[in-house]
């Protein structure tokens, strides 16, 4: 085998998909054949690079399998006919992709006040499959209480959970040891828990936790869809019953129905309150006026409001206009001392339509916010939407989805919360073992209400910001997601910092904002919006983990961590991200070598490979130790005096490896 091609055996191993242990054989063979130290070092470097490539390929294959399973699950939801079949498929796919022996799903039963086993896969214990558990018990109880995933390597040795005889006997009967549970969320409430478990101790990786969370989200959507279908059927049945009543009394209410149709048409044409009054006046051959609440006859309005009917007031008739217990005004029909029941009902219907118009006018801004949120939800959840329809919907909101945009994930940082997490349960005996009032429970409920109010304020502030910036905003994952256009000369990092400041000022709390790399044209490439949101969420969580809550940042602000946080939306983006990292980290050294013909990059490689020892470095390079010192001094002037600090040294070494790999690929 030629000495100048150490990578050849590893390329062959990669080509045939050899196991990891096979990558050690070329080095062992060369050592047995008495190869030179340079040859062995080259083989070692090639081995490490090959193993890295193998790991990346394995990761990509795994992600492809996960995405395929999630796509199949989404397809099942789109054609939802049998909820049991959809949930069973979700549990089976979760078990298969996570490689666990058992997967199961529990749902809360509000009427019984407990939880029950809904679907299982891989379970062999009938007792386990029929478990019903009290609220707050076991690992699932902690997941439901905190709305966060929990994992245990050995359930019976874990004291974080409230162990009960029922749960422990069921888990022991099934033989489970390692358990991962993630919440099924509808809005901000937990309706159940999805589990993956093994019968031996095991550590679940973060990617596996996120994958199970995705399946849990699909399961929650399936359950919600089934509930909505049931409600729709119930509503249709009620509507059919109402239609029967209407048909039975059609002769009595025919005139009122015609007026109602006319009022409906008027509303659909965009008419206002005074248009309704004019239409009713024409039908009733009189004068109808809308008066504000403070100017209407108080006694008559109170009687109308209390009885829900129009009442006589002197020579006039008055119908209160109210909604949700709030008095909005009154319709006054003048000059009609006598009204038959049909005309009276007509006036009452007009009052109802008037209240709807007033509420619609009041909530116009909220409606626009919801429309913006729905469009953004479609971009995130339905990437196969027709671009033309997306552009039309965006144009009605004065948004241009063909311009570069940035996805931002925003969340309020609760005071005293570590890494943005929810506070854990209070220490001490449970409420039933003490005579003290359950102050902890009340405190948790109050804290939950405060968090919900904070999320509402954040969504309102984000929606207002999106409207003023011609962008989109929606509430999502316990926080808010925004899609904002990127101004000329503006970067994603500066937009994130500015957004964090603006939202924090609006809600009067610390708001952390993570930003994605720019999405060139969301309407043309809607699939990138979901990937960009995942990237923004990773940046948000990274800020919290690093203790930078209340700030805004994009992946490029995190140094080499940005390569991990940035994710992958396309090959060109990955290459640009790597090139940018290399340029920011060792670009000055690479440029110096290119201009002067020096060997500073090679010297750095040898220096780190020699354990940062100048003496061993000079042996590796076959130069004098003074030459090594002079070169390292030059590196220090180019990279800064702290280039050998642990964090900088790690980034420099990573950049060197990436530069070496990029150079090899270019050759």
The predicted-structure confidence for 525-542, as pLDDT tens digits, reads as follows: 887 888 888 888 888 887
Neighbours of 78 (CB within 10 A): 9
Residue 177 binned pLDDT confidence (cut-offs 50, 70, 90): very high
Per-residue pLDDT at 416 exceeds 50: no
pLDDT tens per residue, range 346-379? 887 887 787 777 777 666 656 666 777 788 888 8
What is the per-residue pLDDT for 353? 81
Residue 373: exposure state from Cβ atoms within 10 A (0-12, 13-18, ≥19): buried
Query: What is the pLDDT, as a whole number, of residue 409?
Result: 92
pLDDT digit string, tens, across residues 296-311: 788 888 888 888 888 8
Residue 104 has pLDDT above 90, yes or no: yes
**SS3 state at 402:** coil
Q: What does the longest C-alpha to C-alpha distance in the chain come to?
A: 117
Q: 412 and 507 in contact (C-beta within 8 Å)?
A: yes
Q: Are 511 and 550 in contact (CB under 8 A)?
A: yes
pLDDT at 430: 43
Give the mean model confidence (pLDDT) for residues 160-168: 86
Lowest mean pLDDT among 13-27, 87-101, 169-183, 570-584: 570-584
Q: Which residues contact 46 (CB under 8 A, 6 or more apart)?
A: 6, 7, 10
Q: Taking a C-beta distance cutoff of 8 angstroms, is the pair 146, 422 a contact?
A: yes
Residue range 182-193, pLDDT digits in tens: 999 888 888 899
Question: Once rounded to an integer, what is the mean pLDDT over residues 34-57?
Answer: 80
- Judged on CB neighbours under 10 Å (0-12, 13-18, 19+), 287 is middle
Nearest to 456 by CA among 217, 224, 188, 220: 188
State the pTM of this model: 0.38
pLDDT by residue (tens digit) across 225-254? 877 887 888 888 888 877 777 665 565 456
End-to-end CA distance of the chain: 20
- Min mean pLDDT across 71-85, 380-394, 535-549 is at 71-85
What's the confidence (pLDDT) of residue 315? 78
Q: What is the pLDDT of residue 428?
A: 38
What's the pLDDT at 661? 61
């Amino acid at each position: 085998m030629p000495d100048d091609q150490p990578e050849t055996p590893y390329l062959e191993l990669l080509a045939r998909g050899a196991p990891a242990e096979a990558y050690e054989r070329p080095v062992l063979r060369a050592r047995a054949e008495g190869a030179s130290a340079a040859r062995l070092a080259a083989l070692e470097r090639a081995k490490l690079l090959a193993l890295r490539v193998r790991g990346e390929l394995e990761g990509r294959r795994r992600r492809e399998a996960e995405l395929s399973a999630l796509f199949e699950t989404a397809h099942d939801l789109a054609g939802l006919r049998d909820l049991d079949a959809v949930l069973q498929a979700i549990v089976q796919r979760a078990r298969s992709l996570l490689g666990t022996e058992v997967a199961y799903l529990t749902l809360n039963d509000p009427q019984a006040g407990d939880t029950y086993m809904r679907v299982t896969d891989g379970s062999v214990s009938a007792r386990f499959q029929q478990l019903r558990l009290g609220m707050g018990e076991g690992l699932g109880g902690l997941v439901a209480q905190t709305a966060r995933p929990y994992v245990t390597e050995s359930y019976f040795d874990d004291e974080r959970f409230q162990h009960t005889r029922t749960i422990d006997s069921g888990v022991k009967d099934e033989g489970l040891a390692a358990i991962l549970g993630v919440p099924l969320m509808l809005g901000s409430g937990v309706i159940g828990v999805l589990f993956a478990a093994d019968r031996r101790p095991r550590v679940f990786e973060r990617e596996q936790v996120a994958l199970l969370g995705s399946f849990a989200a699909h399961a929650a959507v399936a359950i919600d869809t089934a509930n909505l279908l049931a409600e729709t059927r119930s509503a249709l049945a009620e509507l059919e019953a109402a239609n029967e009543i209407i048909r039975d009394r059609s002769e009595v209410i025919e005139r009122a129905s015609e007026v109602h149709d006319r009022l409906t048409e008027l509303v659909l044409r965009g008419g206002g309150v005074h248009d309704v009054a004019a239409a009713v006046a024409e039908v009733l051959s009189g004068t109808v006026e809308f008066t504000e609440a403070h100017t209407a006859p108080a006694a008559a309005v109170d009687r109308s409001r209390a009885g829900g009917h129009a009442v006589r007031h002197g020579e006039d008739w008055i119908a209160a206009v109210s909604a949700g217990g709030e008095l909005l005004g009154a319709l006054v029909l003048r000059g009609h001392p006598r009204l038959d029941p049909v005309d009276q009902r007509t006036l009452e219907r007009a009052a109802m339509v008037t209240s709807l118009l007033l509420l619609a006018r009041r909530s116009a801004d909220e409606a626009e916010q919801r429309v913006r949120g729905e469009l953004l939800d479609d971009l995130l959840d339905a990437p196969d939407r027709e671009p033309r329809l997306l552009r039309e919907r965006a144009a009605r909101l004065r948004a241009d989805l063909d311009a570069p945009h940035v996805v931002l994930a925003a969340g309020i940082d609760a005071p005293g919360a570590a890494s943005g997490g929810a506070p854990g349960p209070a220490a001490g005996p449970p409420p039933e073992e003490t005579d003290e009032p359950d102050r902890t429970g009340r405190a948790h409920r109050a804290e939950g209400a405060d968090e919900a109010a904070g999320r509402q304020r954040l969504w309102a502030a984000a929606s207002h910001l999106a409207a003023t910036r011609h962008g989109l905003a929606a509430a999502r994952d316990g926080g808010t997601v925004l899609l904002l256009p990127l101004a000329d000369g503006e970067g994603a990092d500066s937009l994130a910092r500015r957004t964090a400041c603006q939202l924090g000022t609006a809600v009067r709390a610390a708001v952390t904002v993570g930003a994605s790399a720019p999405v060139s044209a969301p309407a043309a490439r809607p699939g990138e919006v979901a990937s960009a949101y995942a990237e923004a969420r990773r940046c948000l969580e990274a800020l919290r983990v690093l203790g930078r809550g209340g700030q805004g940042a994009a992946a490029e602000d995190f140094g080499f961590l940005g390569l991990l946080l940035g994710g992958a939306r396309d090959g060109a983006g990955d290459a640009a991200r790597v090139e940018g990292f290399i340029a920011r980290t060792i670009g000055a050294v690479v440029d110096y070598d290119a201009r002067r013909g020096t060997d500073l990059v090679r010297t750095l490689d040898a220096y780190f490979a020699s354990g940062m020892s100048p003496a061993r470095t000079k042996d590796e390079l076959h130069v004098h130790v003074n030459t090594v010192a002079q070169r390292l001094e030059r590196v220090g002037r180019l990279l800064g005096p702290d280039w050998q600090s642990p964090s900088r040294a790690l980034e420099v070494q990573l950049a060197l490896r990436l530069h070496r790999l990029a150079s090899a690929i270019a050759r």
